[in-house]
Amino acid sequence: MPMLPTIEEEAKLSWIRLMWKYRLQFQSMASASIVFVGCGMRLAWSIFDTPAGKFLNNHNTHNLMMSWFIGAAVGALLAALFVQRVTKNVAYTSSGFLMIIAGILNVVLPQHFLAACYSSVSVGAAYGLTQIQALVTGSEVAHKSIRGMLLSCEKIFLWLGVCMQVFYTRVWHNLRPLDTQGYEMHIDQLHGMVLAGLGLGAVILALAHRLESPLLLLHQERDMAVGETLKALHGQSTTELVRLREDCRQLHSARDWERFVEEPEESVADWRVWARRILPFFKVLLLRCFATLAVSLSYNRAFVVVSWHGLECDMNCMYWLAFAGLIGSVLGAFVVDWQGRRKVCSLSLFLAGVVIVMVGGVFDHLESVKRSFYDINLLVIALLMLLFEVIVAGGVAVPALVYTAEAFSIAHKARCLAGILIVEQLLQLGLLLATFEHYITVSVFFFTIGVFSFIVGLTVFMFMPETRQLTLYECLLKFKKVP
C-alpha cells in the first residue's frame, strides 16, 4: 500500500534567501541609506576628523562642530510636520537636495567658515528628515521577521559614512601630506563632491522606488493600491496577503491613541492612562540617550589620547573606532531578529558597564597620581574602548532604534520620533559644551556612563517588552501594558 503524502513545514530560510525574498522592502530604504552615508561622512568630518586645524579661531571650530547637531534637530522638527501625511519621497528628495547644496558649498568655498557651517546644518537637517521618514516607512513596509535588520540600515550606513570619511582623509594625507605643494584640489572639495554625488543618488533612487507604505495608502482610502503594494512587498501568497491586509487594518483602526489605550471604565485622571501615554516615550528615550554617549566628542577625544600611545598610530586613530562601530552595527542587524531586542540589549548594557568602569578606573588612577600616558601601557585600554564601541553599536544602538519604530501608534509616531531625536541632539550639544569648557574629567565621564549603563540595563530587563517576530499592532499591545 503506498504511503500517504505528508505536509512538510517550509524550511527556515537563510539570511541571504530571506533578504532576496523581501528585496523590495530593502529597496525602499535605498534612498535613505544613501543619505545616511553622506550624513555619516559629515558627522565624521565634524567630531571624528576634528576640524581643529582648519580654522584658527577655536570659537569658530566649536560652532562648526555643533552645527551638524543643530541641523539634525531642525530636520526632525520639520519632519514632524509632514511625515505620515505625504509620500515618503518628499523627505527623501528634500534630503538629497540639501546634501547637494552642502556639497556645492564645500566645493566652491572649501575654507570659508560660514559656508562650512551652512553645509553642516544642511546635512544635519537631511539626517533629521530622513531618519524620521525611514523609521516610519521602514517599520510599516517590513515583514515582522526582518524588521530589525531593515531598520538597522540607518546605523550601518551612518557608520559606513564615518568609515569612508576617516579612511579617505588618512589616505589623502598619506599621499598628499601638505596643501601647499601646489595641488589644486582641497580635501574639503573632494568631501563636497562626494556629498553632492550621494545627494543626487538619493534623489534618483527616491524617484525610482514608487512603493509607498500600505498604512499611508489605507489612510488615503486607496484600497486597490494597498493590495498591489502588499503583493509586491511580501509575495504572491493569497493567505499571507489576507493576513497582512488584516494586520494593516487592525493597526490603522488604532489611530486614535486615546481610544486605543483607555478602557471604557477608566477615568481620564487615572494614572494608568497617563503612564501608558508617556512611559513608552521615556523608556525609548533613555535607551537612545545612552547609545548617544558612545559617539560623543568626549568619548572620541579620550580614545584619541589612548590610541596614540596604546595603538601607536602615526596620526588620528579614529578609523579604528569607526570600524568598530560599523562591525557592531552589522552584528546587531543579524542578531536583533534572531535573539530578540530585550535580551541582547540588557546583556549588552551590563557588559558595556563593566568594560567602561574598567577604563574609567585607569583614567582615574592616571589623574590621581599625575602620571603621564607614557608611563603605562594603554594598548589594553584602547582595545577595551573598541570593545565598548562594538557592544554599544550592536547591542544597544540597534535595539534602541528598532524599539523606537515599534513603540508608538501611527497617529503619533512621527511626533514622538522627532521629540526623541531632538532630545538626542540636545544631549550631544550639552556634551560638546562640557568638553569644550572642561566641565567634566574623563574618569568621571566614564564612571557616569558605567552607572548609567547598569541603570538602563536593569530598566530594559524589567520594563521593556520583547517584540521579536511581532506585528506592529502586537508591539503596541506590549508597550500598552504598564509594568
> Cα–Cα distances in Å, from 150 out to 27, 66, 137, 266, 276?
10, 30, 11, 38, 27
- DSSP-assigned letter for residue 407: S
So what's the pLDDT on residue 156?
96
Predicted local distance difference test score (pLDDT) of residue 264: 45
Q: What is the pLDDT of residue 126?
A: 96
Count CB atoms within 10 A of the CB of residue 334. Answer: 15
Residues of the chain below pLDDT 50: 1-10, 51-53, 56, 179, 256-269
In order of their start, the domains of the chain are: 27-174+185-258+285-481 (1.20.1250.20)
pLDDT of residue 79: 94
Q: What is the helix, strand, coil percentage profile of the chain, to 5? A: 75, 0, 25
Q: Phi then psi for 463, rounded to 5 degrees?
A: -120, -15
Nearest to residue 150, comparing CAs of 357, 301, 333? 333
CB distance 384 to 358 below 8 Å: yes
Sign of CA dihedral 106, 110, 115, 121: positive
First to last CA, the chain: 59
C-alpha closest to that of 278 among 22, 482, 2: 482
Helices 30-43, 187-208: inter-axial angle, 10-degree rounding: 160
Which of 475, 479, 464, 454 minimizes the C-alpha distance to 343? 464
Over residues 64-106, the pLDDT tens digits come to: 888 999 999 999 999 999 888 888 889 999 999 999 999 999 9
Q: What is the DSSP letter of 396?
A: I
Residue 111 to residue 360: CA distance in whole angstroms: 38
Instruction: Write out the three cell numbers for 350.
Output: 551590563
Looking at this protein, which amino acid is placed at residue 474? E
The predicted pLDDT at position 5 comes to 43
DSSP conformation class of 236: S
CA quadruple 443, 451, 448, 50: dihedral sign: positive
Question: Residue 19 carries which side chain, given as an amino acid letter?
Answer: M
What is the rounded distance in angstroms from the CA atom of residue 144 to the CA atom of residue 319?
34
pLDDT value, residue 402: 95
User: DSSP class of residue 46?
Assistant: I
Q: What is the pLDDT of residue 7?
A: 38
Q: How much is the pLDDT for 304?
A: 82
Number of H helices, E strands in the chain: 22, 0
pLDDT digits (tens, 9 = 90+) for 367-384: 776 655 555 667 888 899
Q: At what angle do helices 88-108 and 58-82 cross, to 10 degrees?
A: 160
pTM for the full model? 0.89
